[in-house]
Copies of this chain bind each other. A is one copy, B any other.
């Protein structure tokens, strides 16, 4: 884990670079930090600084080799092999995200994150399937995560269930959680919880309404 100390802000930009590389791949074999930056919405200097964390990818005057850089970024982000993901909380947001993710995984050849298990606490939905994915009871998280080799999870449960669900996922060994519940989840520091709370995002965005 040589990358451990790299800041989240750097990691946050890598998928943007990956997307730009995918867009230009069919048209060109190399790309400058100027072009990569401009298409990703950051300065060329920041592109060079971000990528320098991981090695010497560019050549002076030539730029980056598109396919090579794409392969390297995929490895860094663990996107060079399929990743199994779970979603906990099959309400309306959970169902929409399930459909979205399934479609993305099916249609986009470079998108490797596959939603393979759903969890809920409601006996009316447990045992059924949604969009082809089985819904298990949350008390089965540990067993199903181990059996299906699940490494990531999306949490879309109500606020008062989020911490409990976070604990169950962490105990099961899940290290990366995207939390849509409108509360923070406290977990051991080796578990990365990203907040995707829409209300926080909107409140932040309100800052800009006067242009």
Contacts and interface: CB of A to CB of B under 8 A. Distances in A.
A2 interface: no
A5 interface: no
Interface stretch (A44-52, A62-70, A161-169, A197-205): A197-205
Interface stretch (A26-34, A94-102, A116-124, A132-140): A94-102
A54 to B, nearest CB: 11
Instruction: Say which size band chain A's interface belongs to.
Output: 35 or more
> Assembly of this chain: how many copies?
2
Contact of A99 (B78, B92, B199): B92
20 contacts: A11-B204, A12-B204, A15-B200, A15-B203, A79-B203, A92-B95, A96-B96, A108-B199, A113-B199, A113-B203, A152-B202, A152-B206, A152-B209, A175-B209, A176-B206, A178-B201, A178-B202, A192-B211, A194-B204, A196-B196
Interface in A68-102: 76-79, 83, 85, 92-93, 95-97, 99-101
Contacts of A160: none
A87 B15 CA distance: 26
A147 interface: no
Interface string A183-201: 0100000111010101111
Question: What 10 A-B pairs are tightest by C-beta distance, nearest first?
Answer: A96-B96, A192-B208, A175-B211, A15-B203, A190-B211, A151-B209, A176-B208, A176-B205, A92-B96, A93-B96
B41 A97 contact: no
